[in-house]
Homo-oligomer: A and B are copies of this chain.
Amino acid sequence: MNSEVQALLSSGVTLTDAALERLLPSATTEPHSIHRAMRHSTFAGGKRLRPILCMEAARMVAGTGQIPEGAADLGAAIEMAHTYSLIHDDLPALDNDDLRRGQPTCHVAFGEAIAILAGDALQNLAFQVISNLPAPPATIVAILHDFALAIGTGVGTPSALPPGMIGGQVMDIEGEGHKPTPELVERIHRAKTGALITTSIVCGGFLGLATRMGVPSIPPFADGWDADSSRSPDIIAALRTFGESAGLAFQIVDDILDMTQTSAELGKTAGKDTASDKATWPAVYGIEQSKKDAADLIADGFAALEPFGPAATPLKSLAQYLVDRTH
């Protein structure tokens, strides 16, 4: 990992954790048990990749060189949604996992009832944080809309897009025990993992556009793209293409790591996907083809970012890290 990416990740974790610390209820706020449970799972050592992608997309689009106001809060909201999905995924009725990021899962530490409600509360708090973003109301509504679609089951999603995260969770459950087809694996990955990663980048872009429009002196990107109304849809579309490619690549690499790493290296139970006959990319294509597919997807993502010129370098470095990582 080069030092530029290391610095991005390190400062991104710091910013995200500070926002989460500020936005989550303290462990001494009544009712205690759920707030302790929400903190337990949120501060269990996540890599904060989604918030970091969100903040860097916002910075790139804003054009000020700075991470725009509110982007850390938006990233924290997305991390809350990610954490809620992990808490519910780990429940006995779903994946029945006792260990996550090297820690006892939420229901192991706090019981099933509180774990279910802590997941519910994190989902809800994510939306509450979005309602408070320091951004124009139209920007908040655009973020709300894209974020809700990304979490959902595909209702109201344009047919070209995969269902959202919950839709992916359901397809994953329904697919267990069947031989996975290439089409189904791709659909599940794009929904269960890809949709939330994509919305992290797209919503960061919405926030960046709002900042950019407030600073008329910022020159357009290399090819003339700017935040005026006629070109901003192109900017969002490019971010979406990048996010979809990076999100799928990320999950393919996750599948590879699950097959090739130990539980200690992963901080969660390794080999579970294979044991439960889960739909994974290597199960369909083998390890070598999977590595090639991940690399090709990252190249597609890079191409989508070309119009942003040199401002896209940090996002590209992060995407490269997603496929090069070893845990």
Contacts and interface: CB of A to CB of B under 8 A. Distances in A.
Given A29-B154, A154-B30, A116 B93 contact: yes
A30 B154 CA distance: 8
Q: How many copies does the complex hold?
A: 2
Contact of A174 (B25, B31, B132, B167): B31
Given A25-B154, A33-B170, A155-B25, A127 B112 contact: no
Query: Chain A interface secondary structure, helix, strand, loop or mixed?
Result: helix
Interface string A72-114: 0000000000001000100101100000000000000001111
Contacts of A145: 128, 131-132
Contacts of A128: 145, 148-149, 152, 155-156
Task: Enumerate the 9 nearest inter-chain pairs by beta-carbon distance, A residue then B residue, closest first.
Answer: A137-B137, A93-B112, A128-B148, A131-B145, A31-B170, A131-B144, A25-B155, A137-B138, A93-B113
Interface stretch (A10-18, A40-48, A117-125, A214-222): A117-125
A124 B121 contact: no
A141 interface: yes
A158 interface: no
A35 B30 CA distance: 35
Given A93-B113, A120-B88, A140-B137, A127 B125 contact: no
